[in-house]
Structure 1
Amino acid sequence: MATAPPIEVHGLVTRFGGRTIHENLDLEVRPGEVLGVVGGSGAGKSVLMRTILGLMEPAAGTIRLLGADMAKLSGRDLVELRSRTGVLFQDAALFSTLTVAENTQVPLRERFELAPRLLDELACLKIALVGLPPDARSKYPSELSGGMRKRAGLARAIALDPDILFLDEPTAGLDPIAASAFDELILQLSKTLGLTVVMITHDLDSLVRITDRVAALIDRRCVVAPIDELRRLDDPWLQQYFTGPRGRAALSAGQARA
């Protein structure tokens, strides 16, 4: 039996004042895939993510998240649905006054009434899954490197064992070695935990290394295809993005790894 798409967007329209960000945008995300989301500045990548999550209300269109019509949900049902998603924001958005373990426990405390010992055990498990050492548990965000903060934010994002993981520029600000390691972590977690991943990124290396398909936001709509197909489309932005020096280098490196 075919599995329904975990994310279905049809005819989406979003606006800020008199400016239309998306117009009749369609998007379907396949179960278990890693989907990259790209687009120029102001194309509405983060707006799309927030609208899918129900954090912003669209002007028109329908959004189904994990089979549920977002327009028909409110209150407890919406909270329940959001608990099946995890989000890693660009700056990790950690609470500065909480340790890594305490940050990881935040979704668990909001969702369940668990004994302190169980909370500690679950936090330890998630922190280990993202590759942080045991001594990171008691550290505060200010004591972590940029890469470690990203991993701590990821531990919190997967705390509730989500079905879908949203990543907003996950490798931004990381050096090439740390970015590559983080890409491999995302790929490993997606396979191990059976996650569907939606990743907003400008990082061409990440796109080539770990995505199954890429959704390009162009002219307020969305074109979804593997990279090899997108780069052949006759669109000025896509041509500049994929065939410029950085695009050629990333694609050449990807072919070499293959």
Structure 2
Amino acid sequence: MNETPNTQQPQQPQQPNQDEKKTEGGKDGGIIDKIQQLGQTNVPQMEQSNIHVLTIVGQIEGHMQLPPQNKTTKYEHMIPQLVAAEQNQKIEGLLIILNTVGGDVEAGLALSEMISSISKPTVTLVLGGGHSIGVPIAVASDYSFIAETATMTIHPVRLTGLVIGVPQTFEYLDKMQDRVISFVTRHSNVTEEDFKELMLSKGNLTRDIGTNVIGADAVSHGIINEVGGIGQAMKKLNELIEQHKQMGSKDVVQ
């Protein structure tokens, strides 16, 4: 008896569905990783915009790892982004948005120096707060904005409020404070005398030394250039980008 030949087609391997494709290391999976690691979706490798947005929120984490419940910005995550933004020719400008309580002084100064030395146009926008070591970062750009209700706390460099027991420690903190004052006065319109007066004022912060400046006060003191929000900041950055292009074309002609 002849057997009927098997005409059933060989089973095709099952293709992963769209959701599986997105989560298996594809483009969307990479974006998820970037959100988890950096807290943002756009990094300089992405090509949707000629402007890279860098966010500095919470507490700036430096040499010491902070508790997991703290909202932090890790400076070792920020530095590679700044380097990449400088190297990527498709990135024409950098917008830095701050809402920070401050943090590690040396890490904050490192970020400030990098932002100030970028060759492309930069604009900073203080939303909510740009306190303590956030002040040098806020003034490090080519042009700075502060929201009308945002605040900036200016106070001396300090450790944890403990009594300083040795002269060497005081001298170290004093020199570090001079570094902060020097950077702020070089990158803003505030004078050294006015900034020190704000820093060492005894009547504005309860049981502390320093000053809270809000919105227009930061502009009147010469620390920030202008009161404004995201719309004004983007408009100014685009203007600076156009000026930068025109200056580049003039150099080529010459």
Q: TM-score, normalised by structure 2?
A: 0.29
Instruction: Using CA pairs under 8 Å that are at least 6 residues apart, name the structure with larger relative contact order, 1 or 2.
Output: 1
Q: Rg: which structure is higher?
A: 2
